[in-house]
Structure 1
């Protein structure tokens, strides 16, 4: 089992361009697995982890409701935002500057074959990272992602998640608000859940900005520990 994960820093990239890049890496792993089964070979399947920041964009999961986007196409253009229907789980999500987006593209057969465990590990990575900053976060029953003050009138979401998996290969991932402009969340019903607020790490810490490079280092450390994996830097070909 290959527990090496190729870490790629994409910088700021268009959402659709990054989605296509994910699909290419995802399909490459699937093709190798299909070949192994057809030809009875044991070619190693790679694993990837992409860090990226997107310009303002709203994405709707395959089970989502378009009515959860509260602005028109013209208003999207005014806000310099785009919109895509995507092939992940979950409802509507916003990505934008000041948000760390992570896309693990893994062959889970290199780790464990349990998609629920995979999602819980992603959540745990976020919970442990926020704990490093003195913030207590947790899961909310029936609601994927990471929240603060669950079960109170002040419940607020700090990290959204949505994944796709086929033949135990994953894509899409998580979006952690670090220095996010929370005003953009007012244009949607986050994840289709009414009456729940959204927050960002800098807001919770009372800081103007938080060092995003440091946050990514901590995310990477916790991910590697949870998955018992090692990261290797790789130059992206996007």
Structure 2
């Protein structure tokens, strides 16, 4: 069973969290490259980060800027940051009371299969929200976790977007817990027209403590990835 070092960063600016991810991500890659020249291999660590970001829109590397419906001045007036990210996917929103999870792991220590990895991330969230009676499912051709797929009321509750290099992952998922959904009105979420975004609060008609949800995510992350999370001060 693989050990994964876990850390909750609390509320952190998107760029600061991105820089921190990059540091851990590059550290794993550097060890992998160095090991090619060594008889005795150095072990690298795997990581799983939680954070919440102040209001920010991020655009994936294949995203379309026209899916952001605000100009620079409007963003400034509303106090929303914007970044072009190196993750996959299109545009999304991060904000308070949304749980953002960043697994930075070497898939060669788990299973070197990106599709497997993405489906596993979705499965972690599906099991988490099922604890609250919400039936999350996948939507063909659209990453993330959805409710009521195949109906006119299909809506996304969790977005996914990752980057991989040499089988090492970064970025991850964003689960809307008590998120202010009004922020999604200013984008075409994930570049998908005609489909709504929802939150656990909107579906349950009550707030759920984010800390409680984080504990469940950790539990199911360990189950699905057959890993052991270890709290660490890395």
Name the TM-score, length of structure 1 as normaliser: 0.97
1:213-237: per-residue Cα shift (whole Å, max 9, x none)?
110010011110111100110125x
In the alignment, is the contact (CA less than 8 A) between 1:103 and 1:171 conserved in 2?
Answer: yes
What does 1:26-65 align with in structure 2 at a 5 Å threshold?
26-65=25-64
In the alignment, is the contact (CA less than 8 A) between 1:70 and 1:188 conserved in 2?
Answer: yes
What does 1:160-179 align with in structure 2 at a 5 Å threshold?
160-179=159-178
1:82-127: per-residue Cα shift (whole Å, max 9, x none)?
0000111000010000100000000111111111000000000000
Offset at residue 39 of structure 1 (A): 2.5
C-alpha separation between the residues in 1 aligned to 2:78 and 2:97?
Answer: 16
Aligned to 2:230: 232
C-alpha separation between the residues in 2 aligned to 1:9 and 1:235?
Answer: 10
C-alpha separation between the residues in 2 aligned to 1:40 and 1:108?
Answer: 21
Aligned to 2:19: 20
Aligned to 2:95: 96
Offset at residue 150 of structure 1 (A): 0.5
Offset at residue 186 of structure 1 (A): 0.3
C-alpha separation between the residues in 2 aligned to 1:40 and 1:76?
Answer: 53
C-alpha separation between the residues in 2 aligned to 1:113 and 1:45?
Answer: 16
C-alpha separation between the residues in 1 aligned to 2:38 and 2:222?
Answer: 32
C-alpha separation between the residues in 1 aligned to 2:44 and 2:110?
Answer: 12
In the alignment, is the contact (CA less than 8 A) between 1:9 and 1:235 conserved in 2?
Answer: no
Runs of at least 5 residues in structure 2 that lack an aligned partner in the other structure: none
Say what the alpha-carbon RMSD is for the aligned residues: 0.9
Offset at residue 40 of structure 1 (A): 3.5
Aligned to 2:211: 213
- Find the residue that maps to 1:38 and give its secondary structure: coil
- Find the residue that maps to 2:211 and give its secondary structure: helix
Offset at residue 78 of structure 1 (A): 1.2
Aligned to 1:114: 113
C-alpha separation between the residues in 1 aligned to 2:45 and 2:10?
Answer: 22
Runs of at least 5 residues in structure 1 that lack an aligned partner in the other structure: none
Number of matched residues?
234
C-alpha separation between the residues in 2 aligned to 1:60 and 1:14?
Answer: 16
Is 1:200 aligned to residue 199 of structure 2?
yes
1:111-158: per-residue Cα shift (whole Å, max 9, x none)?
111110000000000000011101111000000000000011111000
Aligned to 2:140: 141
